[in-house]
Structure 1
Amino acid sequence: MGVGTCRLLMFIASALHLATLVSSLNTVAVFGGSGFVGRRVCRQLVESGKCEAVVSISRSGRPPSYYCDGPWVDSVQWISYDLDKDWVSSSSSPDTERERLHLPTIDSCISCIGNVQPKKEWTQLFGLGFDDDRLRYENGVINERAIELAKSAGGKHFSFVSVSYETAKTLEGPIVGYMDGKRMCEQKAFEVFSEDNTVLVGPSLVYGGKRFPKLGKAYRSFVESPPARAYVAGNDFLRKLSTTPVEDWVEKLIFSSPVDVDTVARVLCAGSLGLIDRDMVGQRQQDFYDTNGQAVMYPNALFVDGTAEIERIDALVASGLG
């Protein structure tokens, strides 16, 4: 049997496997569905034809027509609900909150909630100051509430916008609250949905849409250019000559390729529909340390790490998304 025939059979088997996984229609809740990534997620879910219903839960509800147009918009149930201010109290029951916002029974959940905005006062990283408590709350506690609501509504799969390995290594010390919040969300999802039903998509920089539409592509062309790659490779070579080589994670982050927002959205959707499994992504890379030098472990969920992996998984699941 020739190599071409083997590849064809593997492709057919993969397509049949994906078709089996999405043989029934799904109801998917998207937290933060009116945001930059969330809008693309909602659109992809509707246009995939794999969903019976798509529900967006966000502070602003239905986005303005400038950001969203086309027939798919009317197919989404837009719910205006603030997981911070509208949550009655810290002791409020997820079941009670679900009834208040009329969240239907769902099959899966996607969270696009996240915030890394600095304080107005410039003091710390590159002159920027960050309120770690606020970042921990908005990236951790708020997402934990979303997970509790999804569980209350019957969700079985969870997808989440995390950050790439290089980004996490860079920000673990300087922006502690942000990374603590991300880790809180991941741990909660791991406990509620299990590691094999939790899909984390970890981009570095996400570009696309109507805001600065050409900037992301230009930046990607720059970091993937031969001179840029030669610069990074040269620095890596020089560091290896040292008796105590130290990785420059800021440099790695700056020269990591950004990814198009629509690609991120498709992979998030694939995760929520159960199209991504352990064989596709392998084990999660660890080796993290906090500011005190103590080892930090992340949940071993299904982690799609970085632009190359996001684009590879996107190609694998394309047939399952229609």
Structure 2
Amino acid sequence: MESTLRPRQVTALVYDRLCAFEYGCVVELFDLHRPELGVPWYHFDRVAAEPGPLQVSGGMSMDAPYQLSRLAETDLVVIPGWRDADERPPQALLDAIRYAWDQGVAFCTICSGVFVLAAAGVLAGRRVTTHWRYAERLAARYPELEVDADALYIDEGQVVTSAGSAAGLDMLLYLVRKDYGGKIANQVAQRLVVPPFRDGGQAQFVPRPVPEEGPGRLQALMVWLRQHLHEPHSVDSMAAHAAMSARTLQRQFLQVSGMSPLDWLTRERVALAQHLLESSQLELAEVAEQAGFGSEESLRRHFRRVVLTSPAQYRKQFAAVMPQLTS
């Protein structure tokens, strides 16, 4: 029996000199038919940010309706980059974005697309990200924003922002996970031949010198920790297992993952907790124990910080999708 889950209406904002890769990611996630999933997929449309004709990077052209009023009639607006971080978007577009925002429409941006929302004045006081090359410029121009130059993507409720190019794919898969649950998101990721979730932040992609000491030992430690998440660990115990000093461990973790050892460990435990909440009926105390949090209170605190929702709400959201997917 086919699912009765109502698909979301997704609208991509396109413009002259459109970023082809970022737009291609949006089309791949939201416009490609996926009958093998057994759920009604997204409804996809595109709206021009300005009158045409529109040129796309790589020598292509695009035809899209210039009907900015449609932004307020959709569920989610995706802004796949912006042609020039230093160019203010057209005023008519900014007005349409503000109106759609006030109507409760959700937005997500890839790379420099966040500059469009920032110019529209809807992001004040929110934590956002962009490509690490643009982060300082964004923070200087819009001091009312909290710019995180390391995150691959950030969910602030009505808006989700992502870092450069491929990080947009991570964010779009995250949105699929929120809408359809982990099983569907994993199937989509498999079809794309990409991991459903990437560890770390942009710091791992910023040009840095390769650590001279023991990267193989660090990799082996990460693998071992994933197999022993239920056990207690400290920086000192991890350093001892990897046969390196605590200072070296801290430095290499930051260079490789963009996080401290304990932050990385927490995110790994949260990821395991997500899997257990999705795939089992374990009590919360059991999830906390298997994921290495030790207590329900610790699980709730760290889970909310990373996933921006509670374990109970996360399981409830996933359970709401599952009966429709399997009916």
TM-score normalized by the length of structure 1: 0.34
TM-score by length of 2: 0.34
Higher-RCO chain (CA-CA 8 Å, sequence separation at least 6): 1
